[in-house]
Amino acid sequence: MAAWLAGSRWGAAPAAARRDLLVSCRRWAGTSADTVYDVVVSGGGLVGAAMACALGYDTHFCDKKVLLLEAGPKKVLGKLPETYSNRVSSISPGSATLLSSFGAWDHICNMRYRAFRRMQVWDGCSEALIMFDKDNLDDMGYVVENDVVLHALTRQLEAVSDRVTVLYRSKAVGYTWPYPFSMADSSPWVHITLGDGSTLQTKLLIGADGHNSGVRQAAGIQNVSWNYDQSAVVATLHLSEATENNVAWQRFLPSGPIALLPLSDTLSSLVWSTSHEHAAELVSMDEEKFVDAINSAFVITYEISLCFVADATQWSDANHTDFIDSAGSMLQYAVAFLKPTKASARQLPPSVARVDAKSRVLFPLGLGHAVEYVRPRLALIGDAAHRVHPLAGQGVNMGFGDISSLVHHLSTAAFNGRDLGSMSHLTSYETDRQRHNTALLAATDLLKRLYSTRATPLVLLRTWGLQATNAVSPLKVRDCSQLSKSLAH
């Protein structure tokens, strides 16, 4: 704690602040240097904006002042562009419920989104397949462009601007943390120094500034992280022919999973996690080769079973071992004998005709988890707290889960008249979410490692595991409901 205090404590610049106050007053439109905000959310991305929105629409926060700090400029979306953005997220039904609780989901529905009802996940080295299929025709998830979500959130924030102030082009450069309990004349609030020299005071600072969180670093919270030896390539693809396109596809190749998310009847979004070299190659190769690569990756049939070697520069004709073949088939017969279920016939994803120009982008992947989510007067949400591989589509949904939990705790605290920065409810939030997130992060990491290998025992293990899960309905349903996402990126 001493290190925490010593390392990150520096005073605000009062003289400069006074001078700049006039400048910033114009922007602040009514707020003064004496305002103590109840909550400041640092970071106006999907999770930060949604947090500010959720607080702004909460009944027990009617009397409170919330501020959202966003380093970028305000994005004005007049008319929806024809071309789809290449950054999309898979929104789970739970996240959709959160978004609809403050009215953002209606805006999204009025713009564009795609619901998917089935998800097929299969192994590239064996025929193991798992099909997630909600019998009751509920949507498993929604594929929405990130820009669309952000636009909906911005509109909702504007509607509640008397309670939530949004400062664009404001980056926090320094934080001053309070002492544990008020002694002497030290201010008990968190002081935030902005780029223009002005300072803000707040009772609770929520860090939603992404996986390189400045808030987390300033607080000295340890972050367990490592980089994967993979990058993800995203692109917007045009399908060869219009289809119903309400299925999400994911195939685990040894180099990494490749996934296709439906965007419309003729468009799908690609997320291909593969090695850095291969990813760089994919992004730079010409369109036709790229499209071929995608189609092959999905379409290689079991019989000839090309398992890509680790660097994937050569297409090897190596068959996967007969041992795995027979082992897999044996399990299938056994399962069919013991428990006849409807056969999950493996289907093929739609073939791709072309790719949108300039929509091919790559970004590196890694895992990260903050050891503490909360400190006195500080809470971390979203990627600032946890960063995950996109293979299970958890990223933004975990962030929305954090929001649900934190808003619930803060709302109850506000209704009980509690100091919002008090550790008692912040610790409850942390316990809630760490339990959930740690399990999910561990599972995702395990899956990633399990499916990155071609070693026979592990391939066998995962083959059997996948087939067993597919056969045992309750397990599948549970997985379905908890992890019914495909990819989010």
Partner 1 sequence: MWGGHKMGSSGSRFLGGLRSGFRGAQACCPRLTTSQAVYSKNQLSWTLRIKPRVFGEYRIMWFKSRSMTFAYLSKMKSYRLPWTRLYCTSQTTVDSSEVKTFLALAHRWWDEEGVYAPLHSMNDLRVPFIRDNLLKTIVNHQPGKPLSGMKILDVGCGGGLLTEPLGRLGASVTGIDPVDENIKTAQHHKSFDPVLDKRIEYRACSLEEIVEETAETFDAVIASEVVEHVIDLETFIQCCCQVLKPGGSLFITTINKTQLSYALGIVFAEQIAGIVPKGTHTWEKFVSPEKLESILESNGLSVLTVAGMVYNPFSGYWHWSENTSLNYAAHAVKSSVQEHVVPAEFALKGETEELRAEASHNSGVREELKR
Beta bridge pairs of residue 409 = none
Task: Give which of 318, 331, 311, 278 is closest to 129, Cα–Cα.
Answer: 331
**Residue 357 main-chain phi, psi, to 5 deg:** -60, 145
Q: Does residue 161 bind partner 1 (CB under 8 A)?
A: no
Cα 104 from Cα 118, distance rounded (Å): 25
Which residue number, 63 or 317, has a Cβ lying nearer to partner 1? Answer: 63
1-29 burial, b at 16+ Cβ within 10 Å, e below that, comes to: eeeeeeeeeeebeeeebeebbeebeeebe
Which residue number, 122 or 429, has a Cβ lying nearer to partner 1? Answer: 429
* Shortest distance in whole angstroms from residue 12 CB to partner 1: 15
Q: Are 85 and 117 in contact (CB under 8 A)?
A: no
Q: Does residue 187 bind partner 1 (CB under 8 A)?
A: yes
Q: Does residue 286 bind partner 1 (CB under 8 A)?
A: no
Amino acid at 84: Y
Distances (CA, A) of 156 to 35, 58, 211: 24, 13, 25
User: E strands of 319-472, at which residues?
Assistant: 352-355, 361-370, 374-375, 378-380, 386-387
Query: Binding to partner 1 (CB under 8 A): which residues in 238-267?
Result: none
Over the Cα atoms of the chain, what is R_g?
A: 24
Which residue number, 93 or 188, has a Cβ lying nearer to partner 1? Answer: 188
Most distant pair of Cα atoms in the chain: their distance: 80
Query: Binding to partner 1 (CB under 8 A): which residues in 35-74?
Result: 35-36, 59-64
Q: Does residue 474 bind partner 1 (CB under 8 A)?
A: no
Which residue number, 12 or 128, has a Cβ lying nearer to partner 1? Answer: 12
Contact pick of 83, 329, 424, 431 for partner 1 (by CB under 8 A): 424
Query: Binding to partner 1 (CB under 8 A): which residues in 195-214?
Result: 203
Contact pick of 134, 238, 418, 436 for partner 1 (by CB under 8 A): 418
Which residue number, 36 or 173, has a Cβ lying nearer to partner 1? Answer: 36
Which residue number, 162 or 303, has a Cβ lying nearer to partner 1? Answer: 162
Q: Are 99 and 156 in contact (CB under 8 A)?
A: no
* Shortest distance in whole angstroms from residue 23 CB to partner 1: 23
Interface with partner 1 by CB under 8 A: which range of 283-291, 300-308, 396-404, 411-419?
A: 411-419
Which residue number, 339 or 435, has a Cβ lying nearer to partner 1? Answer: 435
* Shortest distance in whole angstroms from residue 174 CB to partner 1: 20
Close Cβ partners of 284 (under 8 Å, ≥ 6 residues apart):
none
Q: Does residue 11 bind partner 1 (CB under 8 A)?
A: no
Q: Which residue has the tokens 């070299």?
A: 277
Q: Which two tokens stand for residue 146?
A: 């990130």
Q: Does residue 103 bind partner 1 (CB under 8 A)?
A: no
Pairing of strands 118-123, 247-253: parallel
Contact pick of 415, 431, 442, 478 for partner 1 (by CB under 8 A): 415
Q: Does residue 431 bind partner 1 (CB under 8 A)?
A: no
Which residue number, 188 or 220, has a Cβ lying nearer to partner 1? Answer: 188
Q: State the distance between the two ends of the chain, measured CA to CA, in whole angstroms.
A: 36
Q: Does residue 299 bind partner 1 (CB under 8 A)?
A: no
Which residue number, 387 or 425, has a Cβ lying nearer to partner 1? Answer: 425
Q: Does residue 180 bind partner 1 (CB under 8 A)?
A: yes
Q: Are 398 and 388 in contact (CB under 8 A)?
A: yes
Q: Does residue 162 bind partner 1 (CB under 8 A)?
A: no
Residues lying near partner 1 in the complex (CB under 8 A): 34-36, 59-64, 180-183, 187-189, 203, 414-419, 422-424
